[in-house]
Every structure is written in structure tokens, then in C-alpha cells.
Amino acid sequence: MNWIWPNFSVGEFDSPDMIGSGYNMDSDFMDKLQKARKIAKIPFKISSGYRSEAHNKAVGGVENSSHLKGLAADIVVNNGHERLFIVLALLEAGFRRIGVAKTFIHVDSDSDKPNSMWTY
């Protein structure tokens, strides 16, 4: 399987217990994430992408986590400057589900869930 998103490697999206599982990421989600990365003009370091059910449970993920469907990623943030530019880029790229925490930003495109922005 080809990986066509130049600012990311498939391994960044692997569930730690399933090497190669990053290929399970939804291609439309990845297209939008790549678009957001280009808009932001800063690197996106991915701390969580696709998750196996076992890994999702181990990290305390919710039962219906969008990570299980390959429709979500958590992006590491180190400061308010990065947080602002990443959130603005995600919105401009068309994402409408964004969770903001001190050290990461969750983004997903799960159409089974309502549009929302939340904090952790």
C-alpha cells in the first residue's frame, strides 16, 4: 500500500501494538490533515493515530473512539503559539471536531459524532 502524505510517515500513526496499522488511517482524514499541515507551516508531531482496541483500552480511550476507525489523531503541542497555528489550520482545512489539551490537540473527522470543540 502506498503512503501519499509527504509530511507524515505511516509509523507515526501506528498503534504501538500493531506495526503497520497506520495504513488503517482514513484517506480523506489524512488528506485534510496534510492540508492543515501545509496551512500551518509548522511540523505536526503525531502522538496517537490509529489504535487497536487493546491499546485504546490501555490508554483510557472511550469505547467509541474515532482512533479505532482511523479517523483521529493527536498532535503534540509545546506552546500557545503552536496551539493557535495548529487549531486555525485545522479549522481552515475543514475539521469540525477538535479537542485542546495542554500538551496535545485531538482532531477527528468522525461523522457519527457532532461538530464540537472541547478542552481536556
| Tens digit of each residue's pLDDT (9 = 90 or more) over 14-37 | 999 999 999 999 999 999 999 999
Taking the C-alpha atoms of residue 86 and residue 83, their distance in angstroms, rounded to an integer, is 5
Inform me whether the pLDDT recorded for 110 exceeds 60.
yes
**Greater pLDDT, 11 or 2:** 11
Q: Over 80: is that where the pLDDT of 2 sits?
A: no
Indicate the burial class of 119 (C-beta count within 10 angstroms; 0-12, 13-18, 19 or more).
exposed
Minimal CA–CA distance to 66: which of 31, 92, 29?
29
Residue 4 pLDDT class (50, 70, 90 cuts): confident
Q: Is beta strand 97-100 parallel, antiparallel or unpaired with respect to 116-119?
A: parallel
Once rounded to an integer, what is the mean pLDDT over residues 54-82? 96
Average pLDDT of the chain is 96
pLDDT for residue 73: 98
Q: What is the pLDDT of residue 1?
A: 57
What is the band of 93 on the pLDDT scale with cuts at 50, 70, 90?
very high
Assess whether pLDDT exceeds 60 at residue 86. yes
CB neighbours of residue 71 within 10 Å = 23
